[in-house]
Structure 1
Amino acid sequence: MTLIERLRQRAAQRDAAHTRRHRRVQSQRSGMLTACDGKNLVNFSSNDYLGFAQHPEVIAAFRKSAERDGVGSAGSALVTGHFAAHRELELQAAALFGYEAALFTGSGYLANIGILQSLLDDASVCVQDKYNHACLLDGARFSGAALKRYPHADMVQAEARCAEANTDTLMLVSDGVFSMDGDAADLPALHAIAQRHRATLMIDDAHGVGVLGATGRGSVQAAGLHAADVPILVLPAGKALGGQGALILAQRDIIQHLLETARPYLFSTAPAPAMAAALSASLRLLESQTQHHAALLGNIHHFRRRAEAAGLPMLDSHTAIQPLMAGDNERALRWSEQLIDAGFWVSAIRPPTVPQGKSRLRITLTALHTEKQIDALVTALAEITGDGSDRG
């Protein structure tokens, strides 16, 4: 069988299982209104939780930097790609979140792969939640460390995996907010486990920063913890911060080690300085304009109240991620297409992103949604899910 024949066979298998992926094309957006594949839709799949991707101050900072520094960095950070905008963003992020130092990388995936490859080896043990993002799992596998996974959110088993580890280098790694279920990790428990077993705690807060905490500083703030309690914090910038890339926050010794040894950082062209400038603007907004965070929380609460009143099959999430369970793949796809026809963009999430039998609609709320849009979505969801006979 040739390569192309094998790929076509696998594509046919995905067709039969209703797991084929297709990209939709946006041609214009304004707030949460988007022109997509020739249709005008309200976007309930965006991770732009605070609306910063479209904020005038963020756009202006990007434009000003691009006019001064050009579009691309034209080199890796250790060659010619490290600009003043990068340095300023790293200093600003470290100060805002209370860490000694920060490192700006090209994506959350690259950040997590680089951290785990750089800090772990085949004599190390990495303990992770089974629902962690793929990049955390991949990073541990690529490092050669023994990867020990515990059932989702099971702190008894998390402790057991740490207790049985026979190594001087033990890392306990979790998402702050899990990207498909929308639930928050038990950070106080994870911190206590790490302390008891002398493990380094690492948290990826992609879906927590800008959402959780009294002032939107994320999962660490919401848990009442501090930088000393979470030695490595990763803040991917493509969600609430509205940009691209990721910030790694840690002690200065860890950051220095990563910038000298983390292969995805060493051998990648540095992110555009204009993106660093834009993210600096986003962090200023996060710190000074609390109305965006308040609007997001209001929309989450409003959606939860309306969804509960409508009897929708939602998971128990109180973050911006609101999963509506469909069960099988075909049903999730059908519901998503019915919502497109009704004027809403809500993506169907299927295996391997979620376990078999756990397909769903992944609804995301943002500060830019209106209550009228949320009410209309809930009405449409109630209509497509029917009286319960068509639910997973």
Structure 2
Amino acid sequence: MGDWLATLRRKADLRERAGLRRELRPRAGDDALVDLAGNDYLGLSRHPRVREAAATALDAYGLGATGSRLVRGSTDVHTALESSLASWLGAEQALVYSSGYLANLGAIRALCGPNTLLVADAHNHASLIDGCRLAGAQTVTYAHGDPADAARLLAAHPGRPAVVLTESVFSVDGDLAPLAALHAAARTHGALLLVDDAHGLGVIGPNGAGGVVDAGLAGEPDVIVTATLSKALGGAGGVVAGPAALVRHLVDTGRTFIFDTALPPVVAAGVAAALDLARDGDPLRAVLRERAAAIRDTCRAAGLAVTDPAGGVVSVEAPSAEQAWAWAGACRDKGVAVGCFRPPSTPDSRSRLRLTVNAGVPAADFARALEIIVEVRP
């Protein structure tokens, strides 16, 4: 095989020179950084009711699920969570996975036959991209957020079964997909619409039910919703929601469901408690919207290129990958955690800071964090 370790070292050196090195930065439980990097949008991960529900489940079930869902991993906690998620999302049924990534891989594969066409937004998350690749179906990409371009691609392949795939709130720039128009384009051509609502669930829509509900598409027979439970719900896991026949198919045939150890009951219980809080969390969502707008307005006033947030994600462009890394490091040195997104994590090869709102951060800390981000810019 030759000196394969030398090859890896050369590749690492090239990434270092390009400013694309990644580092693991473990944090302690009492970490004092102001969090503008994580996805705990509503600040629920440490809520007393969430922690109490998790502790109760820990006493009842122990640490792990002890098996896959079809062996010993299904508990009444999982069933209750799936019922709550289906009700919240307005879907016929829901199925919980151990991660949102696996939920996307499983859902896309389940929707693909020998001749299926996958029509994907150019800015889709890596889990949707990988789901298309692993499904083995032909994939075509439409211009970001452009229903007319999606319709053009569908029209170019008449008579083929097809699935249009999009995020609701996009994970890098935080913009909102035109879901109603995408659904209309898909339905006109007999296609399904799969929406990854990871950054919309808990954040937008009535009672925080997400982008699909907000677009009036809940319960439509040609709409499938996927999401992670690790963002606004502050936990872990994923969900696929839609018609009962789809859930049946996933349970019977879905490899990322059948062969994966189940989400630990302790996490499922905590997520269920967070869901109840999120459903009644309009005051928290109001704080989130105010803070997202404050980030946008403060950055623009400082002459920075910044996106318009549809939810809790705000993207601030950096001059280069190296400067994005240095900027994030300078923020961290001043006590503020920010996201640093560089290729290949960005859909357009431009580096940026990704700032995410946590409604649980004290107001004074949030205001000071914004000052620091502007002070230490490149």
Instruction: Report if TM-score (shorter chain) is over 0.5.
Output: yes
TM-fit CA distance, 1:168: 3.8
Contact 1:245–1:271 (Cα < 8 Å) also in 2: yes
Q: Residues 215-364 of structure 1 correspond to what in structure 2 (within 5 A)?
A: 215-228=207-220, 231-355=223-347, 357-364=349-356
1:25 correspondence with 2:30:
no
TM-fit CA distance, 1:227: 2.1
Q: Residues 83-232 of structure 1 correspond to what in structure 2 (within 5 A)?
A: 83-228=75-220, 231-232=223-224
Read off the aligned partner of 1:331 and give its amino acid letter.
Q
Separation of aligned partners in 1, 2:24 and 2:208: 31
Separation of aligned partners in 2, 1:311 and 1:318: 21
Separation of aligned partners in 1, 2:198 and 2:90: 18
Select between 162-171 and 131-140 the one with higher mean Cα deviation. 162-171
TM-fit CA distance, 1:373: 2.3
How many residues align? The count is 377
Show structure 1 runs of 5+ residues with no match: 30-34
Select between 216-225 and 235-244 the one with higher mean Cα deviation. 216-225
- The aligned counterpart of 1:51 is 43
Read off the aligned partner of 2:21 and give its amino acid letter.
R
Contact 2:123–2:170 (Cα < 8 Å) also in 1: yes
Read off the aligned partner of 1:380 and give its amino acid letter.
I
Identity %: 36
Matched residue of 1:52: which SS?
coil
Q: Residues 374-385 of structure 1 correspond to what in structure 2 (within 5 A)?
A: 374-385=366-377
Separation of aligned partners in 1, 2:311 and 2:178: 14
- The aligned counterpart of 2:57 is 65
TM-fit CA distance, 1:169: 2.0
User: In the TM superposition, what whole-angstrom CA distance separates every residue of 1:34-75 from its partner, at most 9, and x where no partner exists?
Assistant: x2xxxx421210100011111111111111011011111111
User: In the TM superposition, what whole-angstrom CA distance separates every residue of 1:125-182 from its partner, at most 9, and x where no partner exists?
Assistant: 0100011011111111111110011121122211111111245421011001111111
Separation of aligned partners in 2, 1:158 and 1:226: 21
TM-fit CA distance, 1:355: 4.5
Contact 1:328–1:357 (Cα < 8 Å) also in 2: no
Matched residue of 2:208: which SS?
coil
Select between 365-374 and 253-262 the one with higher mean Cα deviation. 365-374
Matched residue of 1:233: which SS?
strand
Separation of aligned partners in 1, 2:176 and 2:127: 18
Matched residue of 1:79: which SS?
helix
Moved over 6 A (4+): none
Select between 101-110 and 300-309 the one with higher mean Cα deviation. 300-309
Separation of aligned partners in 1, 2:279 and 2:308: 29
User: In the TM superposition, what whole-angstrom CA distance separates every residue of 1:302-330 from its partner, at most 9, and x where no partner exists?
Assistant: 33333333333212223211111003111
TM-fit CA distance, 1:300: 1.9
Select between 168-177 and 289-298 the one with higher mean Cα deviation. 289-298
Distance 1:148 1:102, change over 3 A: same
Matched residue of 1:227: which SS?
coil
Contact 2:296–2:308 (Cα < 8 Å) also in 1: no
Separation of aligned partners in 1, 2:149 and 2:19: 34
Separation of aligned partners in 2, 1:312 and 1:252: 47
User: In the TM superposition, what whole-angstrom CA distance separates every residue of 1:177-229 from its partner, at most 9, and x where no partner exists?
Assistant: 11111101010111111110111111001001111124211112332332217
Matched residue of 1:294: which SS?
helix
Separation of aligned partners in 1, 2:227 and 2:61: 25
1:5 correspondence with 2:17:
no
Read off the aligned partner of 1:23 and give its amino acid letter.
L
Show structure 2 runs of 5+ residues with no match: none
Contact 1:310–1:378 (Cα < 8 Å) also in 2: no
Contact 2:207–2:280 (Cα < 8 Å) also in 1: no
Separation of aligned partners in 2, 1:350 and 1:167: 39
Q: CA RMSD for the aligned pairs?
A: 1.6
Read off the aligned partner of 1:283 and give its amino acid letter.
L
Separation of aligned partners in 1, 2:327 and 2:143: 29
- The aligned counterpart of 1:32 is none
Read off the aligned partner of 2:155 and give its amino acid letter.
A
Read off the aligned partner of 1:101 and give its amino acid letter.
Q
Matched residue of 1:232: which SS?
strand
Select between 310-319 and 243-252 the one with higher mean Cα deviation. 310-319
Q: Report the TM-score, using the length of structure 1 for normalisation.
A: 0.92
Separation of aligned partners in 1, 2:222 and 2:367: 39
Read off the aligned partner of 1:75 and give its amino acid letter.
G
